């Protein structure tokens, strides 16, 4: 039975002073969001009321009322003599950091998930034309459809990392690839170096294996300082692996240049640490082009890619590129939970990769326009926020004037706007002065979203709504 200590939960809850009273409701809301995004796993026994009250410097009555609210709303259950446990209410899927229902009227700026372009239905039509030649076989390809493995290998070779099809394992998206790579490298108590901030679901995948996450601070305004910290940590800690995003890092947008990759590769080689390199945004350079993959600068690293951001997440096609013997071992790991990926989607992925170079310029131009709209709206409606524009990727990593992103997220949720608070991307209660905002939605949706965001920020800080702002903003 998993449990969380009062000290650990208090660190995740953070300072409740930025939330609107009553205090018990603020505490219940914080714990609910921790359960909803997976930072407090389902079934976890929550601390005793008296212990949590002491850790948070609250009255026991406040914690008791918060636990009562959680039980009433379905986010906790009580067992006589055993304690209070994290649970899920009935209704839409919750309990992990995943997009909510697409038809509930809310605007989702929590996830960088673009809609499918016209190339996707065309690729699926092409896949159905190709399908008959595969129907005579059993249809199982544990490491991936040979045609797709060959195309992924060709793309890595063109990017400066010579690759053969035997060095490619097809996965059900990037997170599946990261999880498989972690399963091959990590175990209970083993350490994994990560950037802070980082991708929340990857952090959860590492923790699910019992690994210990070792964060290294990444400031987009001082990326060189992260290299210093990473070198020191690698030398001192010697982790079992590293999880890195050198290509328009999610969420900061930092792009590690060729010199930085050479330096990082030397540090990893010196410490004998393999890196799981998440290349989800590698093809999404808007003002800059990513250098060759990190694995081109040193052997032994595992590169993870996907079509989710350059095509459509609904295809669930990704891959891991590694040495052939590593791919064979990871294939054995993958088949424990998934015998093989679907053939039709992999055939569609072949068509999409064939046309990707032709499609990317239009996608990048669209994203530049949406990035400009979102940045301009934020600077107009929330002028005290820091809104840097990254050279690529899909998100803005905004700086707030004070640690209040969790309070803003809670207020926005009540207005029909889904956001992801800064602490979700790190450890403990750090990063509450940051908010990640994707620019994957159409411009009109982004404008409405920022109008709601400005209202949420005013509510979170107790300020008046922005001048001229209507109390009613349509949400579609």
pLDDT digits (tens, 9 = 90+) for 367-391: 999 999 999 999 999 999 999 999 9
* Spatial separation of the C-alpha atoms in residues 390 and 83, rounded to whole Å: 46
Q: What is the pLDDT of residues 278-302, one digit of tens each?
A: 999 999 999 999 999 999 999 999 9
- What per-residue confidence (pLDDT) applies to 395? 98
Whether pLDDT at 272 is above 90:
yes
- What per-residue confidence (pLDDT) applies to 42? 82
Once rounded to an integer, what is the mean pLDDT over residues 234-261?
97
Whether pLDDT at 99 is above 80:
no
Which region, left, alpha or beta, applies to residue 81 given φ > 0 means left and ψ of -120 to 50 means alpha? left
CA dihedral 208, 33, 175, 156 (to 10 degrees): -130
- What per-residue confidence (pLDDT) applies to 475? 30
Q: What is the pLDDT of residues 298-332, one digit of tens each?
A: 999 999 999 999 999 999 999 999 999 999 999 99
- What per-residue confidence (pLDDT) applies to 101? 56
- What per-residue confidence (pLDDT) applies to 286? 98
- What per-residue confidence (pLDDT) applies to 476? 26
Once rounded to an integer, what is the mean pLDDT over residues 44-52?
94
- What per-residue confidence (pLDDT) applies to 469? 47
- What per-residue confidence (pLDDT) applies to 15? 84
Single pTM value for the model: 0.85
- What per-residue confidence (pLDDT) applies to 213? 95
Once rounded to an integer, what is the mean pLDDT over residues 61-85?
91
3-state helix, strand, coil in the chain (%, to 5): 45, 15, 40
- What per-residue confidence (pLDDT) applies to 100? 57
Whether pLDDT at 48 is above 80:
yes
Strands (E), 197-350: 212-217, 241-244, 275-278, 302-306, 318-321
Q: Rounded to the nearest 5 degrees, what angle is found at the Cα of 76, between the Cα atoms of 72 and 82?
A: 120
- What per-residue confidence (pLDDT) applies to 41? 81
Which tokens in the block code for residue 118? 């016209």
Whether pLDDT at 143 is above 90:
yes
- What per-residue confidence (pLDDT) applies to 468? 45
- What per-residue confidence (pLDDT) applies to 470? 40
CA dihedral 234, 239, 241, 243 (to 10 degrees): -60
- What per-residue confidence (pLDDT) applies to 104? 62
- What per-residue confidence (pLDDT) applies to 102? 54
- What per-residue confidence (pLDDT) applies to 471? 37
Once rounded to an integer, what is the mean pLDDT over residues 250-256?
97
Residue 43 banded pLDDT, cuts 50, 70, 90: confident
Whether pLDDT at 463 is above 80:
no
- What per-residue confidence (pLDDT) applies to 20? 76
Whether pLDDT at 118 is above 70:
yes
Contact 128, 71 (CB under 8 A): no
- What per-residue confidence (pLDDT) applies to 105? 80
Whether pLDDT at 474 is above 60:
no
Percentage, residues of the chain above pLDDT 90: 78
Q: What is the pLDDT of residues 18-36, one digit of tens each?
A: 777 899 998 998 898 888 7
Q: What is the mean pLDDT of the chain?
A: 91
Residue 155 banded pLDDT, cuts 50, 70, 90: very high
Once rounded to an integer, what is the mean pLDDT over residues 211-216?
95
Number of other residues whose CB lies within 10 A of the CB of residue 272 = 10
């Amino acid at each position: 039975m998993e449990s969380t200590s009062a000290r650990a939960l208090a660190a995740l809850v953070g300072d409740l002073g930025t939330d609107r009273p009553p205090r018990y409701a603020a505490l219940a809301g914080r714990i609910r969001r921790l359960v909803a995004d997976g930072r407090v796993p389902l079934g976890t026994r929550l601390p005793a009321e008296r212990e949590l009250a002491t850790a948070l410097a609250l009255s026991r009555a406040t914690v008791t009322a918060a636990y009562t609210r959680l039980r009433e709303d379905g986010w906790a259950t009580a067992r006589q003599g055993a304690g209070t446990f994290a649970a899920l209410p009935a209704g839409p899927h919750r309990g992990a950091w995943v997009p909510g229902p697409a038809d509930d009227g809310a605007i989702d700026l929590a996830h960088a998930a673009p809609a499918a372009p016209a190339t996707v239905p065309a690729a699926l039509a092409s896949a159905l034309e190709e399908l008959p030649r595969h129907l005579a076989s059993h249809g199982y390809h544990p490491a991936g459809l040979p045609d797709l493995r060959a195309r992924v290998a060709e793309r890595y070779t063109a990017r400066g990392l010579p690759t053969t099809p035997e060095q490619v394992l097809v996965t059900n998206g990037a997170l599946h690839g990261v999880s498989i790579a972690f399963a091959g490298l990590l175990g209970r108590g083993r350490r994994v170096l990560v950037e802070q901030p980082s991708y929340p679901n990857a952090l959860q995948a590492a923790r699910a294996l019992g690994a210990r996450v070792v964060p290294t601070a990444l400031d987009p305004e001082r990326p060189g300082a992260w290299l210093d910290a990473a070198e020191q940590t690698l030398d001192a800690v010697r982790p079992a692996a590293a999880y890195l995003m050198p290509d328009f890092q999610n969420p900061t947008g930092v792009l590690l240049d060729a010199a930085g990759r050479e330096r990082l590769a030397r540090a990893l080689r010196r410490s004998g640490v393999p890196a799981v390199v998440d290349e989800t945004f590698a093809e999404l350079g808007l003002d800059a082009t990513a250098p060759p993959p990190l694995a081109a600068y040193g052997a032994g690293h595992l590169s993870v890619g996907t079509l989710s951001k350059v095509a459509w997440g609904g295809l669930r096609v990704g891959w891991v590129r590694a040495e052939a013997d590593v791919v064979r071992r990871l294939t054995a790991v993958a088949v424990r939970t998934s015998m093989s990926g679907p053939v039709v989607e992999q055939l569609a992925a072949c068509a999409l990769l064939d046309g990707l170079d032709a499609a990317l310029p239009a996608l990048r131009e669209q994203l530049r326009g949406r990035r400009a709209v979102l940045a301009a709206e934020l600077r107009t409606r929330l002028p005290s926020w820091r809104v840097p524009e990254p050279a690529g990727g899909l998100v803005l990593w905004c700086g707030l004037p004070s640690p209040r992103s969790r309070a803003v997220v809670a207020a926005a949720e009540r207005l029909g706007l889904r956001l992801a608070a800064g602490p979700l991307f790190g450890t403990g209660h750090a990063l509450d002065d940051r908010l990640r905002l994707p620019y994957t939605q159409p411009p009109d949706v982004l404008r409405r979203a920022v109008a709601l965001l400005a209202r949420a920020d005013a509510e979170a800080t107790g300020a008046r709504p922005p001048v001229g702002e209507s109390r009613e903003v349509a949400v579609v």
